[in-house]
């Protein structure tokens, strides 16, 4: 088994899609690394990228071409200032030149050099092949696969050995929910404590805490930015941003000037059931409106589902526990990351493999278990909460209209967050020893359902809402 860190499951990136934007971006950077390693980089005179399968079918709506150009230019998706995206892309498209890794100017005609092929590569539905022509006329190609959540792999899986060696270092190697529970029981630890011990075999305590703080800062920022930005989302569907008005109506006369003061202001508002529903929806919509406009979000476990986990954490902070602090955030992220990794090991977090159950379903499950720990649930109740959340997402298809991560994606985050909270509450009131469906069984069911689902419903925009509703209807 390979190691999957919390920082693999929760990654800072740029919207709108982890598999179609962040993955290709990172693949382009990996390819540059390969060229350098083989001492071919300096000899490159021409480049092109072939996209296959789902990457090709919904690549335009998911900004795959933009991500590739930014990756090929050598920019880091974690730190690249998103306000510069337009300028960089304008430069490439108007000059028909690209500065490979910021160093080497090569001719680049986006419409010709990024090729959208309809066929699927056998290894994975999200395939891409980078080709470089060298000075001597020879061509060097390398294929990558974007397997969901920003993860990229090569068919030969060269990094597999390293990841397996890292997994062997974990004091508590976990593949399944039952193993996680066994460690919690044997050690008398919570889920987040067990996960923290594993993370310590990869990095120092300070690095873990610092990394989690950075992740939460981006999550909070994406909620704040989304809730304070009005207008229409890009892409042609004319989707109106809704978080802005929701926030305005809910916050009333409470004043604030930054995200921390916003939290205090929300705590000051009167909340009944309707307001709670609206606040949670507002947080989730905000993140995914930022995501849909190529903004900075945390892939959790994907970009399309990036709003669920922040919305549920924020719910805990502003509704459940007004004294919540970073320690709670830490526990929440560690627990949710581990639950996500169990899904990745036992099923998939890629919509191209499993439909939306693999994105919103998994994020809801991650959030439910993590919230349950903060609410005082036992590890058994936490996994029960995760199971309940996924059980009621089983079979959910991926059918984004016009290939844009907007409809049904943005609203789906609100629904996933609400389901997570409900699943948590049900688990807290239940005796997990009487549960009929353990988490591992629901994960296995999700994977079988994924395999039975036709490719029309796996991020290809060839079925469902994507064919019932045309961009011209919008
Ligand atoms: S429908 Fe779900 S899985 Fe598909 S792009 Fe939207 S959020 Fe992602």
pLDDT score recorded for residue 59: 86
Clarify whether residues 142 and 264 are in a common domain: no
Residue 304 Cβ inside 6 Å of ligand 1? The answer reads yes
* Tens digit of each residue's pLDDT (9 = 90 or more) over 186-206: 999 999 999 999 999 999 999
Phi and psi angles of residue 392, each rounded to the nearest 5 degrees, phi first: -100, 20
Clarify whether residues 367 and 282 are in a common domain: yes
Please compute the mean of the pLDDT values over residues 89-98 and round it to a whole number. 96
Last-in-domain residue among 91, 112, 146: 146
Residue 113 in any domain: the answer is yes
Residue 118: pLDDT over 90: no
Residue 239: pLDDT over 90: yes
Residue 376: pLDDT over 80: yes
Clarify whether residues 119 and 184 are in a common domain: no
- Tokens 């720990």 -> residue: 373
Clarify whether residues 168 and 142 are in a common domain: no
pLDDT class of 471 with cuts at 50, 70, 90 = confident
pLDDT class of 334 with cuts at 50, 70, 90 = very high
Integer Rg of the chain from CA: 22
Residue 287 Cβ inside 6 Å of ligand 1? The answer reads no
CATH of the domain at 79: 3.30.1330.90
pLDDT score recorded for residue 238: 94
pLDDT score recorded for residue 1: 80
Structure-block tokens of residue 386: 């995760």
pLDDT score recorded for residue 168: 84
Q: Which residues contact 456 (CB under 8 A, 6 or more apart)?
A: 399, 462, 463, 464
pLDDT score recorded for residue 186: 98
* Tens digit of each residue's pLDDT (9 = 90 or more) over 254-271: 999 999 999 999 999 999
pLDDT score recorded for residue 249: 98
pLDDT score recorded for residue 3: 81
Residue 10 in any domain: the answer is no
Name residue 299's beta-bridge partners. 11
pLDDT class of 160 with cuts at 50, 70, 90 = confident
Residue 208: pLDDT over 80: yes
Phi and psi angles of residue 100, each rounded to the nearest 5 degrees, phi first: -60, 120
Residue 156: pLDDT over 80: no
Residue 1 in any domain: the answer is no
Q: What is the chain's mean pLDDT, rounded?
A: 95
- Tokens 């802005």 -> residue: 244
pLDDT score recorded for residue 169: 87
Last-in-domain residue among 96, 120, 146: 146
Residue 387 Cβ inside 6 Å of ligand 1? The answer reads no
Clarify whether residues 297 and 429 are in a common domain: yes
Identify which has the larger pLDDT, 19 or 211: 211
Residue 474: pLDDT over 90: no
pLDDT score recorded for residue 259: 98
Clarify whether residues 348 and 435 are in a common domain: yes
- DSSP characters over 168-222: HH-SS--SSHHHHHHHHHHHT--HHHHHHHHHHTTS-HHHHHHHHHHHHHHHHHH
| Closest C-alpha to ligand 1, atom 3 | 356
As for how many domains the chain has, the answer is: 2
Residue 76 in any domain: the answer is yes
CB 303 within 8 A of CB 18: yes
pLDDT score recorded for residue 128: 97
Range list of β-strands (E), 352-413: none
Best substitution site from 398, 419, 465 to test ligand 1's pocket, by max atoms within 8 Å of Cβ?
Answer: 398
Residue 3 in any domain: the answer is no
Clarify whether residues 325 and 242 are in a common domain: yes
Residue 2 in any domain: the answer is no
3-state helix, strand, coil in the chain (%, to 5): 55, 10, 30
Residue 180 in any domain: the answer is yes
Clarify whether residues 34 and 100 are in a common domain: yes
pLDDT score recorded for residue 252: 95
Name residue 458's beta-bridge partners. 398
Residue 221: pLDDT over 90: yes
- Write down the pTM of the prediction: 0.94
Best substitution site from 150, 307, 309, 356 to test ligand 1's pocket, by max atoms within 8 Å of Cβ?
Answer: 356
For the chain, report the end-to-end CA distance as a whole number of angstroms: 46
CB 378 within 8 A of CB 185: no
Residue 353 Cβ inside 6 Å of ligand 1? The answer reads no
pLDDT score recorded for residue 389: 98
Residue 2: pLDDT over 80: no
Clarify whether residues 140 and 185 are in a common domain: no
* Tens digit of each residue's pLDDT (9 = 90 or more) over 297-309: 999 999 999 999 9
Please state, in angstroms and rounded to a whole number, the distance separating the CA atoms of residues 303 and 283. Answer: 15
CB 37 within 8 A of CB 29: no
Clarify whether residues 192 and 321 are in a common domain: yes
pLDDT score recorded for residue 406: 96
In the chain, % of residues over pLDDT 70: 99
Please compute the mean of the pLDDT values over residues 74-85 and round it to a whole number. 94
Residue 98 in any domain: the answer is yes
Residue 459 Cβ inside 6 Å of ligand 1? The answer reads yes
- Domain membership of residue 305 as a residue range: 164-473
Residue 277: pLDDT over 80: yes
* Tens digit of each residue's pLDDT (9 = 90 or more) over 126-152: 999 999 999 999 999 999 999 988 999
Clarify whether residues 421 and 368 are in a common domain: yes
* Tens digit of each residue's pLDDT (9 = 90 or more) over 400-419: 999 999 999 999 999 999 99
Clarify whether residues 450 and 357 are in a common domain: yes
Residue 237: pLDDT over 90: yes
| Closest C-alpha to ligand 1, atom 1 | 398
Best substitution site from 350, 397, 405, 410 to test ligand 1's pocket, by max atoms within 8 Å of Cβ?
Answer: 405
Last-in-domain residue among 146, 175, 199: 146
pLDDT score recorded for residue 331: 98
pLDDT score recorded for residue 136: 97
Residue 470: pLDDT over 90: no
Please state, in angstroms and rounded to a whole number, the distance separating the CA atoms of residues 405 and 219. Answer: 18
């Amino acid at each position: 088994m390979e190691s999957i860190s919390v920082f693999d499951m929760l990654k800072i990136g740029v919207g709108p899609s982890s598999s179609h934007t962040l993955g290709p971006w990172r693949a382009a950077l990996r390819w540059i690394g390969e060229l350098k390693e083989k001492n071919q980089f300096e000899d490159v005179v021409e480049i092109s990228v072939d996209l296959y399968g789902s990457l090709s079918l919904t690549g335009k709506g998911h900004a795959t071409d933009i991500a590739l150009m930014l990756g090929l230019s050598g920019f880091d998706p974690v730190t690249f200032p998103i306000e510069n995206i337009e300028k960089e892309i304008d430069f490439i498209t108007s000059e028909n030149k690209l500065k490979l890794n910021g160093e080497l100017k090569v001719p680049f005609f986006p419409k010709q050099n990024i090729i959208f092929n309809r066929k699927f590569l056998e290894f994975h539905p999200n395939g891409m092949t980078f080709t470089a022509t060298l000075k001597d006329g020879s061509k060097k190609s390398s294929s990558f696969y974007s397997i969901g959540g920003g993860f990229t792999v090569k068919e030969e899986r060269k990094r597999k050995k390293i990841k397996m060696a890292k997994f062997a270092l974990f004091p508590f190697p976990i593949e399944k929910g039952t193993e996680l529970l066994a460690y919690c029981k044997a050690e008398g630890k919570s889920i987040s404590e067990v996960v923290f011990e594993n993370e310590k075999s990869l990095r120092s305590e300070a690095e873990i805490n610092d990394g989690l703080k950075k992740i939460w800062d981006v999550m909070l920022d994406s909620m704040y930015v989304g809730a304070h930005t009005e207008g229409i989302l890009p892409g042609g569907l004319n989707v109106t941003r809704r978080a802005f008005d929701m926030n305005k109506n809910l916050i009333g006369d409470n004043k604030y000037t930054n995200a921390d003061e916003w939290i205090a202001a929300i705590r000051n508002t009167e909340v009944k059931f309707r307001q709670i529903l609206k606040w949670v929806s507002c947080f989730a919509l905000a993140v995914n409106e930022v995501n849909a406009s190529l903004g900075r979000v945390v892939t959790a476990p994907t970009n399309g589902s990036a709003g669920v986990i922040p919305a549920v954490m924020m719910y805990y902070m502003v509704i459940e526990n007004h004294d919540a602090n970073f320690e709670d955030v830490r526990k929440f992220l560690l627990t949710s990351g581990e639950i996500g990794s169990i899904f990745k090991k036992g099923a998939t977090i890629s919509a191209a493999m499993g439909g939306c159950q693999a994105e919103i379903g998994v994020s809801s499950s991650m959030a439910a278990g993590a919230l349950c720990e903060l609410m005082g649930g036992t590890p058994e109740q936490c996994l029960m909460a995760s199971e309940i959340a996924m059980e009621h997402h089983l079979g959910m298809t991926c059918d984004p209209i016009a290939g844009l991560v907007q409809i049904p994606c943005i609203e789906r985050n609100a629904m996933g967050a609400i389901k997570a909270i409900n699943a948590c509450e049900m688990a807290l009131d239940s005796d997990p020893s009487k549960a009929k469906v353990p988490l591992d069984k629901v994960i296995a069911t999700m994977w079988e359902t994924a395999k039975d689902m036709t490719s029309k419903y796996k991020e290809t925009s060839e079925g469902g809402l994507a064919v019932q509703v045309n961009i011209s209807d919008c």
